[in-house]
A and B are shown apart, each in its own frame.
Chain A
Amino acid sequence: MRLVISMAAGLLFGLGLTVSGMTDTAKVQGWLDLFGNWDPTLAFVLGGAILPMLLAWRIADRRETAVLGTPIPARSEPVIDRKLLAGSALFGFGWALVGLCPGPAMAVLGYGGTGAIIFFAAMATGMFGYGRIAT
Protein backbone atom coordinates (compact mmCIF):
# COMPACT_ATOMS: atom_id res chain seq x y z
CA MET A 1 0.00 0.00 0.00
CA ARG A 2 2.87 2.33 0.93
CA LEU A 3 4.43 1.73 -2.48
CA VAL A 4 1.15 2.41 -4.28
CA ILE A 5 0.71 5.72 -2.42
CA SER A 6 4.30 6.73 -3.19
CA MET A 7 3.80 6.09 -6.87
CA ALA A 8 0.42 7.88 -6.87
CA ALA A 9 1.87 10.93 -5.10
CA GLY A 10 4.80 10.97 -7.54
CA LEU A 11 2.49 10.73 -10.55
CA LEU A 12 0.22 13.52 -9.30
CA PHE A 13 3.24 15.70 -8.43
CA GLY A 14 4.75 15.11 -11.88
CA LEU A 15 1.43 15.86 -13.58
CA GLY A 16 1.01 19.05 -11.53
CA LEU A 17 4.51 20.23 -12.45
CA THR A 18 3.75 19.61 -16.12
CA VAL A 19 0.29 21.22 -16.17
CA SER A 20 1.44 24.25 -14.16
CA GLY A 21 4.24 25.06 -16.61
CA MET A 22 7.03 24.57 -14.04
CA THR A 23 8.86 22.26 -16.43
CA ASP A 24 9.26 25.25 -18.77
CA THR A 25 12.49 26.95 -17.72
CA ALA A 26 11.43 30.14 -19.53
CA LYS A 27 8.46 30.47 -17.17
CA VAL A 28 10.57 29.90 -14.05
CA GLN A 29 13.31 32.27 -15.18
CA GLY A 30 10.54 34.71 -16.15
CA TRP A 31 9.24 34.57 -12.57
CA LEU A 32 12.73 35.30 -11.24
CA ASP A 33 13.14 38.14 -13.75
CA LEU A 34 11.49 40.59 -11.36
CA PHE A 35 12.97 43.70 -12.99
CA GLY A 36 12.51 42.49 -16.57
CA ASN A 37 9.64 40.76 -18.33
CA TRP A 38 8.17 39.36 -15.09
CA ASP A 39 5.95 36.25 -15.31
CA PRO A 40 3.76 35.80 -12.19
CA THR A 41 2.66 32.21 -13.00
CA LEU A 42 4.84 30.66 -10.27
CA ALA A 43 2.98 32.61 -7.58
CA PHE A 44 -0.26 30.91 -8.66
CA VAL A 45 1.46 27.50 -8.63
CA LEU A 46 2.91 27.98 -5.14
CA GLY A 47 -0.35 29.48 -3.86
CA GLY A 48 -2.37 26.64 -5.41
CA ALA A 49 -0.05 24.04 -3.89
CA ILE A 50 -0.18 25.58 -0.41
CA LEU A 51 -4.01 25.55 -0.26
CA PRO A 52 -4.54 21.75 0.02
CA MET A 53 -1.54 21.54 2.37
CA LEU A 54 -2.99 24.12 4.77
CA LEU A 55 -5.94 21.79 5.21
CA ALA A 56 -3.73 18.69 5.34
CA TRP A 57 -1.58 20.11 8.16
CA ARG A 58 -4.70 21.12 10.13
CA ILE A 59 -5.74 17.47 10.05
CA ALA A 60 -2.25 15.96 10.43
CA ASP A 61 -1.17 18.13 13.37
CA ARG A 62 -4.16 16.89 15.39
CA ARG A 63 -3.18 13.26 14.85
CA GLU A 64 -0.32 11.12 16.12
CA THR A 65 0.01 8.97 13.04
CA ALA A 66 -0.83 8.94 9.35
CA VAL A 67 -3.39 6.49 7.93
CA LEU A 68 -0.71 3.83 7.36
CA GLY A 69 0.58 4.13 10.92
CA THR A 70 3.73 6.21 10.37
CA PRO A 71 4.13 9.05 12.88
CA ILE A 72 3.27 12.50 11.56
CA PRO A 73 6.67 14.19 10.95
CA ALA A 74 7.74 16.28 13.94
CA ARG A 75 7.83 20.05 13.61
CA SER A 76 11.39 21.22 12.92
CA GLU A 77 13.10 23.22 15.67
CA PRO A 78 12.74 26.89 14.69
CA VAL A 79 16.50 27.27 14.27
CA ILE A 80 17.83 29.48 11.49
CA ASP A 81 21.44 28.43 10.97
CA ARG A 82 24.10 29.22 8.42
CA LYS A 83 23.45 25.95 6.57
CA LEU A 84 19.82 26.84 5.96
CA LEU A 85 20.69 30.32 4.67
CA ALA A 86 23.79 29.44 2.66
CA GLY A 87 22.20 26.30 1.22
CA SER A 88 19.05 28.17 0.18
CA ALA A 89 21.12 30.98 -1.34
CA LEU A 90 23.16 28.46 -3.37
CA PHE A 91 19.97 26.76 -4.48
CA GLY A 92 18.42 30.09 -5.55
CA PHE A 93 21.55 30.92 -7.54
CA GLY A 94 21.52 27.62 -9.43
CA TRP A 95 17.73 27.80 -9.88
CA ALA A 96 18.13 31.12 -11.69
CA LEU A 97 21.03 29.88 -13.87
CA VAL A 98 18.98 27.14 -15.53
CA GLY A 99 15.36 27.49 -14.34
CA LEU A 100 15.04 24.01 -12.85
CA CYS A 101 14.55 23.03 -9.20
CA PRO A 102 14.79 19.36 -8.10
CA GLY A 103 11.14 18.37 -8.81
CA PRO A 104 11.05 19.67 -12.38
CA ALA A 105 14.62 18.41 -12.95
CA MET A 106 13.19 14.90 -12.43
CA ALA A 107 10.01 15.61 -14.41
CA VAL A 108 11.86 16.65 -17.59
CA LEU A 109 14.33 13.77 -17.38
CA GLY A 110 12.33 11.53 -19.71
CA TYR A 111 11.77 14.00 -22.55
CA GLY A 112 14.07 16.99 -22.05
CA GLY A 113 16.96 15.58 -24.08
CA THR A 114 20.68 15.69 -23.29
CA GLY A 115 20.46 19.00 -21.39
CA ALA A 116 17.98 17.53 -18.90
CA ILE A 117 20.21 14.50 -18.34
CA ILE A 118 23.33 16.65 -17.84
CA PHE A 119 21.54 18.92 -15.34
CA PHE A 120 20.15 15.93 -13.43
CA ALA A 121 23.54 14.19 -13.36
CA ALA A 122 25.23 17.35 -12.06
CA MET A 123 22.51 17.80 -9.42
CA ALA A 124 22.82 14.17 -8.31
CA THR A 125 26.60 14.58 -8.11
CA GLY A 126 26.14 17.67 -5.93
CA MET A 127 23.75 15.79 -3.64
CA PHE A 128 26.10 12.82 -3.39
CA GLY A 129 29.14 15.03 -2.83
CA TYR A 130 27.47 17.06 -0.10
CA GLY A 131 26.31 13.84 1.58
CA ARG A 132 29.92 12.62 1.60
CA ILE A 133 31.27 15.82 3.14
CA ALA A 134 28.46 16.30 5.66
CA THR A 135 28.44 12.79 7.13
Chain B
Amino acid sequence: MISSDWIYGLIGGLMIGSAAALYLLVSGRIMGASGLLGGLIDGTGRANLAERALFIAGVIGAPLIYGALFGFPETNLTTNLALLVIGGLVVGVGTRMANGCTSGHGVCGISRFSLRGIVATFAYLFAGFATMAVLRPWLGVV
Protein backbone atom coordinates (compact mmCIF):
# COMPACT_ATOMS: atom_id res chain seq x y z
CA MET B 1 0.00 0.00 0.00
CA ILE B 2 1.26 3.46 -0.87
CA SER B 3 1.22 5.47 2.36
CA SER B 4 -1.24 8.14 1.15
CA ASP B 5 -3.84 5.58 0.08
CA TRP B 6 -5.53 5.45 3.48
CA ILE B 7 -6.00 9.25 3.45
CA TYR B 8 -7.82 9.05 0.11
CA GLY B 9 -9.73 6.07 1.49
CA LEU B 10 -10.82 8.08 4.50
CA ILE B 11 -11.77 11.17 2.45
CA GLY B 12 -13.67 9.06 -0.09
CA GLY B 13 -15.32 7.16 2.75
CA LEU B 14 -16.48 10.42 4.35
CA MET B 15 -18.00 11.40 0.98
CA ILE B 16 -19.83 8.06 0.74
CA GLY B 17 -21.14 8.46 4.28
CA SER B 18 -22.18 12.07 3.62
CA ALA B 19 -24.08 10.96 0.52
CA ALA B 20 -25.88 8.33 2.60
CA ALA B 21 -26.62 10.90 5.34
CA LEU B 22 -28.03 13.35 2.79
CA TYR B 23 -30.25 10.67 1.25
CA LEU B 24 -31.51 9.54 4.65
CA LEU B 25 -32.14 12.92 6.28
CA VAL B 26 -33.61 14.73 3.27
CA SER B 27 -35.25 11.96 1.21
CA GLY B 28 -35.83 9.38 3.95
CA ARG B 29 -34.14 6.65 1.93
CA ILE B 30 -31.49 4.06 2.72
CA MET B 31 -28.60 4.49 0.32
CA GLY B 32 -28.06 0.87 -0.68
CA ALA B 33 -26.57 0.35 -4.13
CA SER B 34 -27.96 -3.17 -4.67
CA GLY B 35 -31.44 -2.22 -3.40
CA LEU B 36 -31.71 0.95 -5.49
CA LEU B 37 -30.51 -0.82 -8.64
CA GLY B 38 -32.26 -4.14 -7.97
CA GLY B 39 -35.64 -2.49 -7.45
CA LEU B 40 -35.24 -0.80 -10.81
CA ILE B 41 -34.37 -4.07 -12.53
CA ASP B 42 -36.92 -6.44 -11.02
CA GLY B 43 -39.79 -3.94 -10.98
CA THR B 44 -40.26 -3.82 -7.18
CA GLY B 45 -39.12 -0.19 -7.19
CA ARG B 46 -41.71 1.06 -9.65
CA ALA B 47 -43.09 3.61 -7.15
CA ASN B 48 -39.93 5.73 -7.20
CA LEU B 49 -38.40 4.77 -10.50
CA ALA B 50 -37.13 8.24 -11.42
CA GLU B 51 -35.41 8.70 -8.05
CA ARG B 52 -33.58 5.41 -8.48
CA ALA B 53 -32.62 6.15 -12.08
CA LEU B 54 -31.22 9.58 -11.19
CA PHE B 55 -29.27 8.19 -8.25
CA ILE B 56 -27.69 5.61 -10.55
CA ALA B 57 -27.03 8.24 -13.23
CA GLY B 58 -25.14 10.18 -10.55
CA VAL B 59 -23.06 7.15 -9.53
CA ILE B 60 -22.13 6.51 -13.16
CA GLY B 61 -21.67 10.19 -14.02
CA ALA B 62 -19.47 11.34 -11.12
CA PRO B 63 -16.45 9.18 -12.08
CA LEU B 64 -16.75 10.42 -15.68
CA ILE B 65 -16.58 14.03 -14.52
CA TYR B 66 -13.73 13.18 -12.14
CA GLY B 67 -11.89 11.33 -14.91
CA ALA B 68 -12.27 14.18 -17.41
CA LEU B 69 -10.76 16.59 -14.87
CA PHE B 70 -8.05 14.53 -13.17
CA GLY B 71 -7.65 11.44 -15.37
CA PHE B 72 -9.37 8.09 -14.98
CA PRO B 73 -8.19 5.89 -12.12
CA GLU B 74 -7.02 2.34 -12.76
CA THR B 75 -9.68 -0.39 -12.42
CA ASN B 76 -7.33 -3.40 -12.77
CA LEU B 77 -10.43 -5.33 -13.80
CA THR B 78 -9.88 -8.95 -14.79
CA THR B 79 -10.25 -9.83 -18.47
CA ASN B 80 -11.26 -13.41 -17.62
CA LEU B 81 -14.77 -13.80 -19.07
CA ALA B 82 -15.74 -16.68 -16.77
CA LEU B 83 -14.76 -14.72 -13.65
CA LEU B 84 -16.67 -11.64 -14.83
CA VAL B 85 -19.85 -13.57 -15.63
CA ILE B 86 -19.86 -15.87 -12.59
CA GLY B 87 -18.79 -13.03 -10.25
CA GLY B 88 -21.47 -10.69 -11.60
CA LEU B 89 -24.25 -13.29 -11.42
CA VAL B 90 -23.36 -14.31 -7.87
CA VAL B 91 -23.07 -10.70 -6.66
CA GLY B 92 -26.46 -9.94 -8.23
CA VAL B 93 -28.25 -12.96 -6.74
CA GLY B 94 -26.49 -12.74 -3.37
CA THR B 95 -27.13 -9.06 -2.69
CA ARG B 96 -30.83 -9.38 -3.57
CA MET B 97 -31.21 -12.54 -1.47
CA ALA B 98 -29.52 -10.85 1.50
CA ASN B 99 -31.38 -7.61 0.78
CA GLY B 100 -28.25 -5.49 0.82
CA CYS B 101 -24.55 -5.12 0.10
CA THR B 102 -21.59 -3.08 1.29
CA SER B 103 -23.45 0.24 1.24
CA GLY B 104 -26.83 -0.84 2.64
CA HIS B 105 -25.80 -3.47 5.20
CA GLY B 106 -22.25 -2.19 5.69
CA VAL B 107 -22.45 1.60 5.79
CA CYS B 108 -26.13 2.22 6.64
CA GLY B 109 -26.70 -0.92 8.75
CA ILE B 110 -23.64 -0.92 10.98
CA SER B 111 -24.04 2.80 11.74
CA ARG B 112 -27.59 2.11 13.06
CA PHE B 113 -26.26 -0.86 15.05
CA SER B 114 -28.63 -3.06 13.04
CA LEU B 115 -28.14 -6.73 13.88
CA ARG B 116 -28.88 -7.80 10.28
CA GLY B 117 -26.41 -5.27 8.88
CA ILE B 118 -23.64 -6.36 11.24
CA VAL B 119 -24.22 -10.10 10.66
CA ALA B 120 -24.42 -9.64 6.87
CA THR B 121 -21.17 -7.65 6.87
CA PHE B 122 -19.39 -10.36 8.87
CA ALA B 123 -20.79 -13.01 6.51
CA TYR B 124 -19.72 -11.37 3.23
CA LEU B 125 -16.33 -10.38 4.65
CA PHE B 126 -15.73 -13.92 5.89
CA ALA B 127 -16.80 -15.39 2.53
CA GLY B 128 -14.57 -12.88 0.73
CA PHE B 129 -11.52 -13.61 2.89
CA ALA B 130 -12.07 -17.38 2.55
CA THR B 131 -12.54 -17.20 -1.24
CA MET B 132 -9.40 -15.14 -1.62
CA ALA B 133 -7.38 -17.44 0.64
CA VAL B 134 -8.34 -20.50 -1.42
CA LEU B 135 -8.60 -19.16 -4.98
CA ARG B 136 -5.94 -16.43 -4.92
CA PRO B 137 -3.56 -18.24 -7.32
CA TRP B 138 -6.27 -18.37 -10.00
CA LEU B 139 -7.69 -14.87 -9.66
CA GLY B 140 -4.75 -12.94 -11.08
CA VAL B 141 -4.59 -10.68 -8.02
CA VAL B 142 -2.07 -7.88 -8.60
Specify which chain B residues have a CB less than 8 angstroms from the CB of A33 in the assembled complex. 132, 136, 141
Interface size on A, residues (CB 8 A): 117
Least Cβ distance of A78 to chain B in Å?
A: 4
In the bound complex, CA of A61 to CA of B54 (Å) = 26
Verify B115–A80 contact, CB threshold 8 A: yes
Give the complex CA separation of A83 and B5 in angstroms: 35
- What secondary structure prevails in chain B residues at the interface with A? helix
**Which residues from chain B contact A9 at a C-beta distance below 8 Å?**
19-20, 22-23, 27, 31, 55, 58
A interface, over-half SS: helix
> Which residue from chain B places its CB closest to the CB of A39 in the assembled complex?
B1
Using an 8 Å CB-CB cutoff, how does the interface string of A101-135 with B read, 1 for contact, 0 for none?
11101111111110110111111111111111011
Asked whether B96 lies within 8 Å of A75 as measured between CB atoms, the reply is no
Could you tell me which residues of chain A, from 50 to 83, have a CB within 8 Å of some CB in chain B?
50-57, 59-61, 65-73, 75-76, 78-80, 83
The list of the 8 closest CB pairs from A to B, nearest first, reads A10-B58, A126-B92, A48-B13, A20-B12, A122-B88, A131-B42, A92-B127, A87-B98
Interface residues of A (CB under 8 A from B): 2-3, 5-27, 29-30, 32-36, 39-57, 59-61, 65-73, 75-76, 78-80, 83-103, 105-113, 115-116, 118-132, 134-135
